Structure formats: structure tokens, C-alpha cells
């Protein structure tokens, strides 16, 4: 009879140790989840600019409108903007492409095209106004 009492005691001790180990493991796991949840956020909470850093968009030459300018080829991806540039006169288009795409200032453009600086500025402003009007008429 004593052996069964001893065996019962050992079983209860083993049961207690197992339950204690499982409880401690559960506590450790909940702490781990708590630490992770403080660092993680859902995709719906991430700003678009962060998500876009991890994405890739394929671009193809048919997606661009190309303009030749002093030996350079300038591609404009926005179709409406490309159409607006095509609607301009050659001189205004050249000035706008040099200013906004090649990043030349009015003085550099005036020296390149042999025009006065005020003429370059006037053509640029008139061209932008024409493009704005074109875009407003053709935007959907």
C-alpha cells in the first residue's frame, strides 16, 4: 500500500511540475506576443509612400511620349501631359522641356537658343498657360 501512496505522490508532483512548466511557457509566449505587437502594425496602417518603396512598376517605351531635343530624347510618361506638349509650338515646347526636364534656367536657355531672357520667360509662361488650358479641356 505504501508503494501506491508513493506512486501517487510522485504522479502529483510530476503533474504539478508539468502544469507549472506549461503555465510558465504560456506566460513567456504572451510576453513575446506583447513585444511583437508593440513593434508590428497592420498593412492598412502603413502609409502609401512606405508601401510604394517595396513595390516595382514595370515601364515600357510604349507608355511614353518621346521628344527629341538637342540630341537628347526626353520621355514623358503622362499621356495628357505629352499631348499638351505636342500641342505647343516648337519653340515653346523646347523651352518648357529645357526648363522642366533638363533643369536649365532661363539664362542658360536664352544663351542656348540665342534669345533674350525675357523672351524665354514669356514663351515659358505662355506655353504653360496653353498647356493648362489644353489639360483642362481634355481632362476627364
Instruction: Count Cβ atoms below 10 Å from residue 111 Cβ, excluding itself.
Output: 12
Give domain limits for the chain. 2-45, 61-138
If you average pLDDT over every residue of the chain, what do you get? 88
pLDDT, greater one: 57 or 99: 99
- Which range has highest mean pLDDT (8-17, 43-52, 56-65, 76-85)? 8-17
Extract the C-alpha cell encoding 65: 511620349
Which of 106, 96, 108 has its CA nearest to residue 67?
96
Which band of pLDDT confidence, cut at 50, 70 and 90, is reported for residue 15?
very high
pTM of the entire predicted model: 0.58
Average pLDDT over residues 114-137: 92
The answer to whether the CB of 92 falls within 8 A of the CB of 133 is no
pLDDT, greater one: 41 or 20: 20
DSSP-assigned states of every residue in the chain: -HHHHHHHHHHHHHHHHHHHHHHHHHHHHHHHHHHHHHH---GGGS-HHHHHTT------GGG-EEEEETTEEEEE--HHHHHHHHHS-HHHHHHHIIIIIS---HHHHHHHHT--HHHHHHHHHHHHHHHHHHHHHH--
Which band of pLDDT confidence, cut at 50, 70 and 90, is reported for residue 120?
very high
Which band of pLDDT confidence, cut at 50, 70 and 90, is reported for residue 24?
very high
CA distance 73 to 102: 11
Look at strands 72-76 and 65-69 and give their pairing: antiparallel
Tell whether domain 61-138 is in CATH 2.40.170.20: no
Query: Is pLDDT at 1 greater than 60 in this prediction?
Result: no
CA distance 66 to 43: 37
Amino acid at each position: 500500500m505504501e508503494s501506491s501512496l508513493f506512486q501517487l505522490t510522485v504522479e502529483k508532483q510530476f503533474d504539478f511540475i508539468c502544469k507549472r512548466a506549461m503555465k510558465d511557457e504560456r506566460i513567456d509566449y504572451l510576453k513575446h506576443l506583447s513585444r511583437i505587437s508593440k513593434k508590428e502594425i497592420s498593412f492598412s496602417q502603413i502609409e502609401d509612400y512606405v508601401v510604394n518603396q517595396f513595390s516595382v512598376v514595370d515601364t515600357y517605351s510604349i507608355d511614353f511620349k518621346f521628344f527629341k531635343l538637342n540630341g537628347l530624347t526626353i520621355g514623358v510618361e503622362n499621356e495628357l501631359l505629352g499631348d499638351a506638349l505636342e500641342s505647343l509650338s516648337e519653340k515653346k515646347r523646347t523651352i518648357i522641356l529645357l526648363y522642366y526636364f533638363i533643369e536649365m534656367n532661363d539664362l542658360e536657355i536664352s544663351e542656348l537658343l540665342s534669345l533674350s531672357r525675357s523672351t524665354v520667360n514669356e514663351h515659358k509662361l505662355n506655353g504653360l498657360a496653353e498647356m493648362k488650358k489644353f489639360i483642362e479641356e481634355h481632362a476627364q
